[in-house]
Amino acid sequence: MRKKIFIAGLSTGLLLSVCVMTAMAQKTVPSPAVATQDQKVQLDALVKDALANNPDLQAAEARWRMTEHKVIPAGSLDDPRLSFAMSNYPIDSFSGDDTPMTGKEIQLSQKLPYPGKLAAREEVAGQQALWYRDVYQDARLQLVQQVKDAWYRLYFQQHAIDLSRETIDILNDVIRLTETRYEVGTGLQQDVLKAQVERSKLQDKLFNLDQQRTSIVAELNRLLNRPADTPLTPCKSLSATLVETGLPKLLNLARSHRPLFSAYEAMVDRYRAQRKLAKLDYYPDFNLFAGYRQREDIPGDPADGADFVSAGVSINLPLWQGKRREAVAEVDSALRMARGQLVDFGNRVDFTISDQFAQLKKNRDLVALFKTGIIPQAEQTFEASLAAYRVGDTDFLNLLDSLLTLYRYRIDYHRALSDHERSVARLEAAVGVELGSAAAED
């Protein structure tokens, strides 16, 4: 009689555990406004910290600024050259008044590139700076995506850990119940062993989940430039972002908002300017010079010691045409390369957007299906199995299967919700704009 009362008490305790688990599950589904605000405030703070402190992003900005400082020098003339010479001094006396050829000469010269070369060089440097500017802007988008992706994975890991612990607690109650039923002769030993095996499997899964959570926290801290073991607490709830923009519009938005498109266009323009510069190299550069020679008054000098001035121009002779043809051919190949990379990048972006849009739609439908159909049905199935098991109308394996099935569906629900938000983050990075608003999905 006492054991029957004990069994009834265990059954009641198990039922209370299930009720607590269900209540906790419902508690994690707050009003959409609360979930959205909590999610946005935490995530916005992390994104802001990453954009301000990430060293790789800071390096990308410094690289852009570095190339900007090269634009003005590229379009500037070389410095003029000032030279001083002592000409025609006799080696036996080094006297300045022995011959009328002796004198001290000062000369100023300036190299002048062929018209158009300086402008072409400046354009090449300017387009290079634009490339690195847009690469930096795109790196900001990718960093935001990485932070969001890690944050949503952390959300899933934490919920998976919590659900695993809750299920292990229920399994502990189930094991005590099956052990007691076995002791009084109303249960089977294999039921006890089966429950213990499932508990061990869940414990093993919990170890893996804890490890993965630690790795994600370290990854997120790396993006934030923090110590790897800095604690991070994920949001308790998550609301699915409602993306109302259609696929064709997303593809068009990417062309005008994704910075790397303009970066590749700047690369094409750079090689165009470089080709123009290579063609101009067929023409000579000029060197202008002017000089002044100071002389001594020497008897018999026809010029009576008058000082001399001189001026002139020199040019290089572009005789070796082979190297110039090769330079033009090199830039032509680079131009074809840049155009091909632009087309390929556009194709890759289109694929990413199409793929993530399909993933987003699938996960959005899964979230709705789990929330409104599968999980409520699985909860009812488990509660019915528990009630039937208490009165002996079903075997232990059905009860255990219904419990583990409910656990898997709840895990899959949070995975689908996390994957939905990760797809939104990838879409935002691929398109270059922030999408949608939080919807009442959780």
Query: pLDDT: is 182 or 208 the higher one?
Result: 208
Identify the helix (H) or strand (E) that includes residue 53.
Answer: helix 32-53
- Residues 129-141 as b/e (b if ≥16 CB within 10 A, e otherwise) read bbbbbbbbbbbbb
Render 296-308 in DSSP notation, one character per residue.
Answer: ---TT-TTTT--E
Q: Is the pLDDT of residue 275 over 70?
A: yes
Spell out the residues 6+ positions from residue 193 whose beta carbon is closer than 8 angstroms to its own.
Answer: none
| DSSP letter, residue 282 | T
Digit-coded pLDDT (tens) for 37-77? 666 788 888 999 999 999 999 999 999 999 999 999 989 88
The burial of 69, by beta-carbon neighbours within 10 Å (0-12 exposed, 13-18 middle, 19 or more buried), is given as exposed
Q: Is the pLDDT of residue 9 over 70?
A: no
Between 155-159, 194-198, 286-290, 426-430, the lowest mean confidence (pLDDT) is in 194-198
Query: pLDDT: is 304 or 328 the higher one?
Result: 328
Digit-coded pLDDT (tens) for 284-324? 989 999 988 877 767 666 766 677 888 999 988 888 888 88
Digit-coded pLDDT (tens) for 11-25? 444 443 444 344 344
pTM of the model: 0.81
Query: Which whole number is the average pLDDT over 167-190?
Result: 75
Q: Is the pLDDT of residue 439 over 60?
A: no
Model confidence band, residue 362 (pLDDT cutoffs 50, 70, 90): very high
* Contact between residue 277 and residue 124 where contact means Cβ atoms under 8 Å apart: yes
Q: pLDDT value at position 186?
A: 63
Between 6-20, 291-305, 331-345, 365-379, the lowest mean confidence (pLDDT) is in 6-20
Q: pLDDT value at position 245?
A: 86
Q: pLDDT value at position 356?
A: 92
Q: Is the pLDDT of residue 31 over 70?
A: no
* Contact between residue 199 and residue 164 where contact means Cβ atoms under 8 Å apart: no
Q: Is the pLDDT of residue 251 over 70?
A: yes
Query: Which whole number is the average pLDDT over 407-414?
Result: 90
Digit-coded pLDDT (tens) for 110-151? 999 999 999 999 999 999 999 999 999 999 999 999 999 999
Q: Take residue 247 and report the two structure tokens written for it.
A: 């696929």
The mean of the pLDDT values for the chain is 83
Between 69-78, 80-89, 223-232, the lowest mean confidence (pLDDT) is in 80-89
At CA 151, angle to CA 170 and CA 258, rounded to 5? 145
Spell out the residues 6+ positions from residue 147 whose beta carbon is closer than 8 angstroms to its own.
Answer: 43, 46, 47, 50, 220, 223, 224
% of the chain surpassing 70 pLDDT: 85
- Nearest CA to 101 out of 310, 290, 302, 289 is that of 302
The burial of 285, by beta-carbon neighbours within 10 Å (0-12 exposed, 13-18 middle, 19 or more buried), is given as middle
Model confidence band, residue 34 (pLDDT cutoffs 50, 70, 90): very low
Q: pLDDT value at position 20?
A: 38
